[in-house]
Amino acid sequence: MANMVERTGIAETIRHAHPIILLGALYATFTYLVNDPPAVLLKLLPVTIGIQIIHASTCLGSSRVAVASGNKKKVKSASKGKTEDAGPNIMTAFLSLFLTLLIGTPAIFIVIVLLGAPITADLSHTALCAAHLSVLAGFPLVYSYHVQGSKWRDIISLNLPMDEVYGGALGACLGAWFGAIPIPLDWDRDWQRWPVTIVVGIYAGYAVGRLGGLAFIGKTARFN
């Protein structure tokens, strides 16, 4: 089942503005990122976290809510006397963020090192790169699916139906992979500094992947 999403007017506005704001934040800091990657990545991280929390709590549904859809909390509208779904679940967002940073970032750090990242130098660069990938790719998945084993098996096996969350995660990972290509090339450019192109790939891939997830919603990425 594709990820549950909110379809209110404000949710749709945030959904469309979300990738533009993320890419805009990266673009605005790119020159500084090239000159001092760890310092800028550290300053950009809370901005990205804030954007992700707003997007998730406003636009994304939670599988925990979906499983208990018959027991959803309702709130009475004082003016209209109607029942409405409870608002954005900020606590779920912060708990998901905590789990993502606690588990996802170290796991991604290890994977990046195993794939060839410097192991004796630039560790802060690698750790912050892992944190950005974790927040962009991992946080929405944790918010939406929590720790459901069956869902995570589908995620890892590429058998989860496509949506903006899964598409964004796949796009961010592929973007990181392709972003590593220019680093060893003999172009002698400042922006080839570790891990600038990977971070750019993560953000660009995430934005493109979200659009792809919406375009191919309900389809699976696995090749049969």
Q: Each residue of 103-123: pLDDT tens digit?
A: 999 999 999 999 999 888 899
Q: What is the mean pLDDT of the chain?
A: 86
Q: Each residue of 49-72: pLDDT tens digit?
A: 999 999 999 998 765 444 444 444
Q: Identify the three-state secondary structure at position 160.
A: coil
pTM: 0.85
Residue 164, in any domain of the structure = yes
Q: Each residue of 159-194: pLDDT tens digit?
A: 999 999 999 999 999 999 999 999 999 899 999 999
Domain with 30, as residue range(s), is 9-215
Residue 81, in any domain of the structure = yes
Q: Are 153 and 171 spatial neighbours (Cβ–Cβ below 8 Å)?
A: no
Residue 64, in any domain of the structure = yes
Residue 17, in any domain of the structure = yes
Q: Letter for the amino acid at 153?
A: R
CA distance 195 to 200: 9
Residue 4, in any domain of the structure = no
Residue 147, in any domain of the structure = yes
Domain count, the chain: 1
CA distance 199 to 196: 5
Residue 158, in any domain of the structure = yes
